[in-house]
Every structure is written in C-alpha cells, then in structure tokens.
Amino acid sequence: MPMIRKVLIATRGEVALRIIRTCREMGIRTVAVCSTAEREALHVRLADESVCIGPPPIAESYLNVPRLLGAAETTGADAIHPGYGLLSESAAFAEVCHNCGITFIGPTLRNLRLMGNKGKAREVVSRAGVPVLPGIPRKISDAREALRAASGVGFPVLIKAASGAGGRGLRVVREPSEFLDAYETARADVRAAFGDEHLIVERYCTDARHVEFQILADTDGNAVHLGERECTIQRRFEKVLEESPCGAMTPALRAEMGEAAIKAAAAVNYANVGTVEFLLDAKGRYYFIEMSARIQVEHPVTEMVTGVDVVKEQIQLADGQPLAIHQEDVRLRGHAIECRIYAEDPVTFERSYGTVARYHPPGGSGVRVESALQVNDPVSPHSDPLLAKVIAHAETRPAAIAKMRVALREMVLDGLPSNLDLHRQILADPDFVEGRVTSSFLSRFGGRP
C-alpha cells in the first residue's frame, strides 16, 4: 500500500493524463493544475481535483513555484509529479518540495544537482569507466578561451549548455571561423532559457546514432535497465521518432552498453527513473552524452516491449519502495515505434498555431495514442507543441512499421499544420525501412535538422 495518497501533477497535456491513469490504478488521488487558458483541458477534467495557478504564460503558471506549492497545500497533496520538461529537472524545485514535506516524484536532490551540471556528470561517469567524447568539461565563459579549447579537441565540435536540457544552446561548429559567432549565440540562448550562460565543448560525432537506456534504481543501490531506445531521428536536437529495440544493436553490445548505463547511474548513486543517453558510431563505439533525471517523452516504446509501467515504477521508487525487478526479469518482446506529432510546418519545422478543427486518433490492436487533444482546442504560443504520440507495437520491426503506416493513415488532425505527413514520408523512406539512419537523416526532408 503506497504511503503517497494524493499527487499534484505539475504539468499538462498528454503526460498529465498518463500520470492520472497510473495513479488511479494505484488508488492514488490526483490534483491537476492549469492556466486560465486551460480550464477545460482534458487533464483538468479527468483529475480528481484541479487548481488554476495563473495566466497562460508558463512562467506565471506552470513554472510558478509558490503557486504550485500553494495548490499542493490547499488540496492536501503529499507528493508532486513534475512530468517531463518544465520543473522536472529543477534541483531548486525539488529542494523546496523537500523543505515543505512534499515528496518529489523523481530522483534525489543530489542526483538533480549533479546531472544538471553536464561537465561534472561527464567527469564522474568517465571516472567510472564509461566512455565519453574528447572535450572540455569545465564551464567556459570567455569565447576566445573556448575557441582555443575547441581547437585542442578538434573540429567539428558541439557547443552545449553546462546546465539545462531540451536542446537549448546546442550548436554544431565545423570550422574555427564559425566558432565565435556560434558560441555567442548559444550563450545568449542558454542565458535566456536557464539563467546560466556557461557552456561546455566536446567533439561532435558525425552521423552517429542516438541510443538511450532506461534505468530504474532504488535507494539501496539496486538498478536495472529496460533495454534501449533508438532516438536518432531528430531535428534541432529534438526527437521526432523513437524505436525499441535499436536496429544496430546486438545482444553483446546491448549487454555492454546496458552495463555502462548502470555504471553511470551507480557512479552518482542514482535513485528513481532515469535515462542514460549515448552516441553510437558506425564502428560500434559508444559515448556517454548525458543522463536525463526524469521520465522521458518516449518512455511508451519501452513499456510496450517490456510490459513495465515506467510511471508506476517511478511513483513506487519515490515512495521509498524497493525495486522489485531484477535484470534477468527484463525481456524485450517485439518492436515498438513512436511518432511524435508536433504543431509545426512539416517542411521548415517552424512552430504552427491554430485551432483543432477535426481530430480522430487511430486505434486497433497494438496501437496506443497518448494525447490530451480535443476538437476546438486552441494551439497558441503558450501551448505545448507536442499534440500527440502514436505508438505501434508488433512482433517484428517490419510489422511495426506496417502497423504505424496504417495508424497514421487513419489519423485525422485538421485546423493547423502538423508533421503528420512528415512521419508518413519517414515510414516510406527506403533507408528508414532498412534501418539505415543516422543523425543527418532528416536533412533530406527540408528544414534545418
């Protein structure tokens, strides 16, 4: 029987619905929060209780910590689930929750602080024997000093934020002459996004695969991985389509990378649900990128191939319960694909806005849709651009692709541009069908990957 009795869900959209469903199965009451523009949102209507916490701009609502804590106190919530994005990796928010006697459903405060510092995290996992790319892990604030460091690493290089997540500040620089402008642009970007302008530099791995391992770990040091997800198809360092398992994986490589992922988690005494992310090159060499200290958008593909409810595990681990899964219990069954349906122009990848005129989600055996979308919903600059996730599961990858094609053909979404047609093109692409994908894959479809 869980000690957690009532969870305030400090997020919105499809992930809020996902958390509500699992909480109900566990007998836990839920409190939804919303802005004034989302009083009729599906997550508000389906939660046991709801509280309006401010106007549409997220800084005044979903990122407003005093209002979130006030809502928890008013409703008697003894735990807060931050979902993903927003405050999910905020050590400051987790600390305030702890000081107020509220369980933060996520990793420990120490985990958040350490994994929020990418340079430090890189250093710690490297000492544990996990491969990392050549780079300069320390925070660098002077652009010319950073250029000298980058020259020592060797071009092309990747500039990225020393803290924060979500692809903000990431810049690939192929020539020294491009570095200073890219560095200053990245610094302004991360200053605006995270309030921390420090950046780190590392070698850029060209045409690699992005492969990540789902980790579950308890406070007693027990940890397992639930296999890998292939997240190679991205634009602007944001994932578009994910799969499990990875087409380039062998049983031996899975065992080796899975062990490396658990080593990385153990190196920081990680507890709760997290994801260790790697780059995998054409020669089968892999390198640690970062560890996401939260649940991932793409967790459903792992759930489909393992049968493990990742959100349930997350709540139980936050509740202090020991991990009940052993590594030998984990079996990957079949293949799953997730398509993220974004409100965006399918060619330029720029954000789109409008009102949902028609919406029909697909269905059928092996098809799962995660969405909070309703007809007449406005999609504005304050809205989440992720409209829906469509997940297809079958016995083999070709069968999963065929099932996804049918699902996307059935799906109807009118009223604003979306990347639905882009996904249909990806699924028909011969290289995708054969599993020949790398980080540059989306460049053939236009936009700026």
What the block records as the tokens of 156 is 């092309």
What the block records as the tokens of 108 is 């420990």
Q: For this structure, is 236 an active site residue?
A: no
Angle, in degrees to the nearest 10, between helices 310-318 and 299-306: 100
CA distances from 343 to 196, 337, 386 (A): 29, 20, 6
Residue type, 335: H
Catalytic residue among 294, 358, 405, 448: 294
Q: How far is 235 from 216, CA to CA, in rounded Å?
A: 28
Q: How far is 424 from 416, CA to CA, in rounded Å?
A: 17
Whether 341 and 387 have beta carbons less than 8 Å apart is answered as yes
First to last CA, the chain: 47
From edge to edge, which strands make up the β-sheet containing 157-161? 135-140, 199-203, 157-161, 171-173
- How many other CB atoms are found less than 10 A from the CB of residue 361? 18
Question: 64: alpha, beta or left, given left = phi > 0 and alpha = psi -120 to 50?
Answer: beta
- How many other CB atoms are found less than 10 A from the CB of residue 40? 11
What the block records as the tokens of 201 is 């530099």
- Which residue numbers are catalytic? 294
